[in-house]
């Protein structure tokens, strides 16, 4: 038994997600793709792959015969558009997996809180940078309190479609919030860099966590274990070097981000450097940002479907 799903959007993220569902999922069946550009590559590919399409967006999707059998809808458009989409889809009784930074529903980062929101009508996949880095923040915070977490996500400019570019502010706000709410940091900050280098560079992510004195071996072990959990669904996710620990000097401005009682025994900056190579289902392997976002959404949807229909087992 499979669960029928639809994808709203026909850009990079939506097209990669469609291909992943078709190639990788034994429990989800894509019934339709809805876009607004009749000439988009995503809709053209969908038609070639025998997926029903509409270029009239969510309104067209709601009118499609195929929509009657759809239980879950992925939204891969923009934060602004998602607010209307969510209202219409909730009214129609459909579950929504949101790949925009709108954050109307609870955040889900699979290796951290996959099972926490399986009954929610709308779940938010944060951002590509959040999916890559929040697991690391959560790993560090599982060992020692993280008083400040900062992430820098660098992605190839070619992999950032119009939706990503239109949502830069929402990216930083949503990711910063999720660093705290899911990652466990007291405060969070996110930075995104669209790297125009040619040839395009693979996605790189840097995570900095400010902590008090801690067991460095335990932190390293927690981070390495978490990397393995992400690799279970994103094989191209990896550490670029060993976890770094730097003592924060007494006159370092970073110390001001820590509460006084947290640094009585010393203050450390934990730095983790990551690389995310994509599976090249749609864009080339440099687009790890697509791969980690769509892989996380697919994993989440499969578990939501299995939870709601126990006879369907998640892979």
Annotated binding site for NAD(+): 10-13, 159-167, 289
Q: Give the tokens for residue 260.
A: 């006084």
**DSSP notation for 237-289:** EEESS--EEEEPPTT-GGGGGS-GGGSTT-EEEEEEEEEE----SSS-TT-HH
Contacts of 146 (CB under 8 A, 6+ apart): 137, 140, 183, 184, 185, 186, 209, 210, 211
Asked if 229 contacts 135 with a C-beta cutoff of 8 angstroms, the reply is yes
The single residue of 6, 19, 76, 128 carrying the catalytic annotation is 128
Asked if 123 contacts 117 with a C-beta cutoff of 8 angstroms, the reply is yes
Residue of 133, 92, 89 whose CA lies nearest to 109 = 133
The whole-angstrom separation of Cα 77 and Cα 68 is 22
User: Residue 170: helix, strand or coil by DSSP?
Assistant: helix
> Is 128 assigned a catalytic role?
yes
The whole-angstrom separation of Cα 28 and Cα 21 is 7
Residue of 230, 229, 249, 180 whose CA lies nearest to 209 = 180
**DSSP notation for 7-39:** EE--SHHHHHHHHHHHHH-SSEEEEEEE-S-TT
User: Residue 139: helix, strand or coil by DSSP?
Assistant: helix
- The answer to whether the Cα torsion of 111, 273, 177, 167 is positive or negative is negative
Catalytic residues: 128
């Amino acid at each position: 038994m499979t669960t029928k799903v639809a994808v709203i959007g026909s850009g990079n993220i939506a097209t990669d997600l469609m291909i992943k569902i078709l190639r990788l999922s034994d429990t989800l069946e894509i019934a339709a793709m809805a876009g607004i550009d009749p000439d988009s590559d995503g809709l053209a590919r969908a038609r070639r792959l025998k997926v029903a399409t509409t270029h009239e967006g969510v309104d067209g999707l709601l009118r499609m015969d195929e929509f009657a059998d759809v239980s879950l809808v992925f939204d891969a458009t923009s934060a602004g558009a998602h607010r209307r989409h969510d209202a219409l889809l909730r009214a129609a009784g459909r579950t929504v997996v949101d790949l925009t930074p709108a954050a109307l529903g609870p955040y889900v980062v699979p290796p951290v809180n996959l099972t926490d929101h399986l009954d929610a009508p709308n779940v938010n996949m944060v951002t590509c940078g959040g999916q890559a880095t929040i697991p690391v923040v959560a790993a560090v915070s599982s060992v020692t309190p993280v008083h400040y977490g900062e992430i820098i996500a660098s992605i190839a400019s070619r992999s950032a479609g119009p939706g990503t570019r239109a949502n830069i502010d929402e990216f930083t706000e949503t990711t910063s919030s999720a660093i705290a709410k899911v990652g466990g940091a007291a405060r969070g900050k996110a930075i995104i860099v669209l790297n125009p280098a040619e040839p395009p560079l693979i996605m790189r992510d840097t995570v900095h966590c400010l902590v008090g004195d801690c067991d460095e071996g335990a932190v390293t072990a927690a981070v390495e274990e978490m990397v393995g959990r992400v690799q279970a669904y994103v094989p191209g996710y990896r550490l670029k070097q060993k976890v770094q620990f730097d003592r924060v000097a007494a006159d370092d401005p970073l110390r001001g981000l820590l509460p006084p009682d947290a640094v009585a025994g010393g203050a450390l900056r934990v730095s983790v450097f990551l690389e995310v190579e994509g599976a090249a289902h749609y864009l080339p392997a440099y687009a790890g940002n697509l791969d980690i976002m769509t892989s996380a959404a697919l994993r989440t949807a499969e578990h939501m479907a299995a939870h709601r229909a126990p006879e369907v087992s998640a892979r």
